[in-house]
Structure 1
Amino acid sequence: MDRLTVNISDFLLRHTVERTNSQELAKPEYRKRVAYLEAWISIIGNIFLAVIKMVFGLMLNSISMLADAVHTASDVLTSLVVIIGFKMSSMPADQRHPYGHGRIEFIATLIIALMLLAVGVKFGYDSYQRYLANTPVRGSLLIAAFMVAAALVKELMSRISIELGNRIKSSALIADAWHHRTDAIASFLVAVAILASKYGYYRVDAVLGMAVSILIIWTGIEIFLDSSSKIIGEADEEQLERINELAYTVPGVMSTHDIAVHDYGAYKVISLHIEVDGSLPLVKAHDIAEKVEDIINGDLYAMTTVHLDSYNDTSHS
């Protein structure tokens, strides 16, 4: 399915954003368009599936399918949070926010993570109640087959959201993907419950449901902590290494230190010290610093400030 996910993602990106390369998609103007693409795919897909589930649920008088239809419809809310979050985060800088509003994206991720935690708790509670009741889940093989098909569609939506989220490095899109996955799991469990009930194993879906709820809660906590860490100012080791590598591509840079990155989502503010030969003319040293700034800005879409220091042989021996 991974190859299929990549192919579908490339197709969607080519016909909407007109870019597929992760380097280009990381630019703020394309990044927002990718986020909107993911959100609208999610909204349209969820509404379509929710309506079909509701119709089937009413026709077959299936409580489990009606409940799952409501669950699917509720996923539209997380996609709306993505749209609102990216819309607000793309607002231009102002006097009170000189580096823009990019961190609103992290706040949107926190909201989605909290919604995911709520889904996990509710899922676990409902599963526990089903375990205590030990009542059969009524339904037909037709319902079971449809729920499996719906689960596969939702899992594909989840993978596409993750693929798009990875390409633009957006935790909000990956968090939204996990809402798709919880719905896929819920739909699959309804199918399992129907089949198990036909053979008298009424508690199978309840036990599986409680196990899955733990996974959902754990994922929600991880997403919440990751986004919180970015708001606080976590240092991304891979990003620091990349900045270091880029600085050393400029001839004349002999050492680097004190690299600092302030992450604003699509936009970053970076500062670092470079050491150059102390005997160089000031104009030449300043030219090296400007080249370092330009290469980092072009690669990471940042505003970089380079501080010049004189290279000291004794301090590096």
Structure 2
Amino acid sequence: MNHSDNLKIGEKGAWLSIGTYIILAFVKLIVAEIGDSEALRADGLNNTTDVVASIAVLVGMKISRKPPDEDHHYGHYRAETVASLFAAFIMMFIGLQVIFNTIQQVIAHESVKPDLLTAWVAIGSALIMFLVYFYNVRLAKKVQSDALYAAAQDNRSDALVSIGAFIGIMGAQFGLFWLDPLAGLMVGVIICKTAWDIFKDATHTLTDGFDEKQLEQIQASIFKVPEVKKVVDVKGRIHGNQAFIEITILVDPKLNVQESHDITVRIENYLARKHNITYAHIHIEPYDV
């Protein structure tokens, strides 16, 4: 199964997130209005913004499936990474909003006792989002999708937001109004930390960053080919979840074109089996003793 087919399967996770967010946002906003819960109302508004982030991930995955064209000879795989970056911005905005709202709540000394129904809706929402998270994170690893993995992290963050809302609402039932802002602050920090990690990975990929340890492993694998006298250079960059590797090796200058070509084929096949690298550009130069 190729990368394009994997992305098509991965779109199921994005659709699941969109559908779940729409339903939960609708339920939370209605129950929050009935039960007079600011925490649940904020959680519902949070889910409405998540719909936008999930749509961005879905669009990014669809664009990534497009084949190479005249303007994109390497395909459109980086659209998936851009979608991850957009999801990170949405998550950071949500996290800062949660922190800001918490600080406002502390300054205003709000002490509202919401209806207990809002607490059950919050904890039920958290359980649903954790189920969506586990589904999407497994699917993301299966199809090797950064964008879907970022969406899964967003699912987990939303589950934590709902847990924070539940703690705050339950605290208000017993007069512990300080639990609400404390839980909100902790959740906001967790969301911002998750967003930063996704942002850091996405920007590293978009700026052609590559894991040095993986390059060392690739170089060690190339040395196992007997005809390779020396590995001059190994470079790598990531397009979506595909590694593009450029290699320069030295071989016996007496080899003919066919023999040299056969060496590159063996290296390409070995890298595909050992490191799951589907594209390797190998440049051969003569080895001078």
How high is the TM-score relative to the length of structure 2?
0.87
Alignment partners' CA distance in 1, 2:168 and 2:34: 19
For 1:189, the equivalent position in structure 2 comes to 164
| Secondary structure of 1:291 counterpart | helix
For 2:104, the equivalent position in structure 1 comes to 129
The Cα offsets for residues 277-307 of structure 1, whole Å up to 9 and x where unpaired, read as 5565554333212221233356635332212
| Secondary structure of 1:243 counterpart | helix
Which amino acid in 1 is paired with 2:263?
I
Q: In structure 2, do the counterparts of structure 1 residues 167 and 240 end up closer, same or farther at CA, with 3 Å as the change threshold?
A: farther
Q: How far has the Cα of 1:206 moved from its partner?
A: 0.6
For 1:303, the equivalent position in structure 2 comes to 279
Which amino acid in 2 is paired with 1:259?
V
Cα pair 1:131 1:207 within 8 Å, conserved? no
Cα pair 1:171 1:223 within 8 Å, conserved? no
Q: In structure 2, do the counterparts of structure 1 residues 194 and 303 end up closer, same or farther at CA, with 3 Å as the change threshold?
A: closer
Q: How far has the Cα of 1:233 moved from its partner?
A: 0.8
Which amino acid in 2 is paired with 1:177?
A
Alignment partners' CA distance in 1, 2:153 and 2:256: 55
Match for residue 97 of structure 1 among 66, 72, 82:
72
The Cα offsets for residues 107-157 of structure 1, whole Å up to 9 and x where unpaired, read as 111111111111111111001011122222422334323321211221232
For 1:57, the equivalent position in structure 2 comes to 32
Q: How far has the Cα of 1:259 moved from its partner?
A: 0.8
Cα pair 2:37 2:115 within 8 Å, conserved? no
Cα pair 2:39 2:168 within 8 Å, conserved? no
Which amino acid in 2 is paired with 1:304?
A
Alignment partners' CA distance in 2, 1:192 and 1:78: 26
Which amino acid in 1 is paired with 2:282?
V
Cα pair 2:13 2:148 within 8 Å, conserved? yes
Question: Is 1:30 aligned with 2:44?
Answer: no
Runs (5+) with no aligned partner, structure 1? 1-23
Alignment partners' CA distance in 1, 2:206 and 2:59: 18
For 1:7, the equivalent position in structure 2 comes to none
Sequence identity, in percent?
Answer: 28
Alignment partners' CA distance in 1, 2:258 and 2:150: 48
Question: Is 1:273 aligned with 2:242?
Answer: no
Match for residue 288 of structure 1 among 263, 271, 274:
263
The Cα offsets for residues 69-95 of structure 1, whole Å up to 9 and x where unpaired, read as 222232111110011111222222222
> For this pair of structures, how many residues does the alignment match?
288
Cα pair 1:102 1:266 within 8 Å, conserved? yes
Q: How far has the Cα of 1:185 moved from its partner?
A: 1.8
Cα pair 2:168 2:177 within 8 Å, conserved? yes
Match for residue 74 of structure 1 among 49, 53, 57:
49
Cα pair 2:61 2:147 within 8 Å, conserved? no
For 2:199, the equivalent position in structure 1 comes to 224
Runs (5+) with no aligned partner, structure 2? none
Q: In structure 2, do the counterparts of structure 1 residues 311 and 201 end up closer, same or farther at CA, with 3 Å as the change threshold?
A: same
Q: In structure 2, do the counterparts of structure 1 residues 114 and 233 end up closer, same or farther at CA, with 3 Å as the change threshold?
A: same
Which amino acid in 2 is paired with 1:303?
Y
The Cα offsets for residues 237-285 of structure 1, whole Å up to 9 and x where unpaired, read as 3542453354345443354341112321144432112344556555433
Cα pair 1:134 1:203 within 8 Å, conserved? no
Instruction: Say what the alpha-carbon RMSD is for the aligned residues.
Output: 2.6
Aligned pairs for 1:34-45 (under 5 A) are 34-45=9-20
